[in-house]
Amino acid sequence: MPPELAPLPADWQRALAVVAHPDDLEYGASGAVASWTTSGKEVSYLLVTRGEAGIAGMAPREAVEVREAEQRRAAELVGVSSVEFLDHRDGVIEPTPRLRRDIAREIRRRRPELVVTLNHRDNWGPGTWNTPDHRATGTAVLDAVADAGNEWIFPELVAEGAAPWRGVRWVAVAASPSSSHAVDISESFEQAVRSLAAHRAYLSALSDEPPEQYARRFLDTATRQFADRFGGKRCVPFELFEL
């Protein structure tokens, strides 16, 4: 039988969530974000792309504006006002030194104790396959946390005024098949539903269901999936790396 999931540590004040695309955080993790911001914690979002390749039939130039606006609205609904984009190309992200530097810069600027990202592993579970963008971004985030604390890696960041930051204590990877911890979202489930539903254009291209119905159905299943390993509570699972 799989082991119980432990509660994610809560003795921190600032978090930075770094993912590849608009909507990545809303497929579950935003429920945890809502519970954190409600308790007074500060959470910022960093998107590696603007999701320009994410909507079939919509030209990238148009999709950029639509998806950025939807992401800002989705973040606002869970108490996040700081949303920034790195403008790497959607669909072809690679875990290059450039990407590591761009993420390390933001870690140094924002000085989080907790960094959140999405599953970097090859699959979501048996019989599934993760996308290249998710794998590349998650791997780059893990590496960039170390880079952010080393003054001899990317010394140009120091010249920009981004001094090394060694204060990241954990990296929490959402939706990992190796999840070990979880966050109770019993009280923030409705916020999570509204946050995912805010990606109206994106969800409408995926499904004939109304966005609100799709979001509720998906998150109802996703947040109950690990409840039997977390005291019967709705939860968002994370793989935790302690530094």
Q: Is residue 110 part of a domain?
A: yes
Structure tokens at 91: 């669909």
Give a yes or no: residue 1 inside a domain. no
CA–CA dist 79, 86 (Å, integer): 21
What total of structural domains would you count in the chain? 1
The domain in which residue 203 lies consists of: 6-242
The answer to whether residue 235 is domain-embedded is: yes
Tokens of 242: 């302690």
Q: Please give the pLDDT value at position 226.
A: 97
At residue 1 the predicted structure's pLDDT band, cuts being 50, 70 and 90, is confident
Q: What is the mean pLDDT of the chain?
A: 97
Rg (CA), the chain: 17
Q: Is residue 204 part of a domain?
A: yes
pLDDT in tens, 7-50: 999 999 999 999 999 999 999 999 999 999 999 999 999 999 99
Res. 141: pLDDT tops 90: yes
Residue length, the chain?
243
Tell which residue, 14, 16, 19, has the closest CA to residue 39: 14
Percentage, residues of the chain above pLDDT 90: 99
Residue 2: pLDDT band with limits 50, 70, 90: confident
The 10s digit of each residue's pLDDT in 173-218 is 999 999 999 999 999 999 999 999 999 999 999 999 999 999 999 9
Q: Indicate which CATH number applies to the domain containing 187.
A: 3.40.50.10320
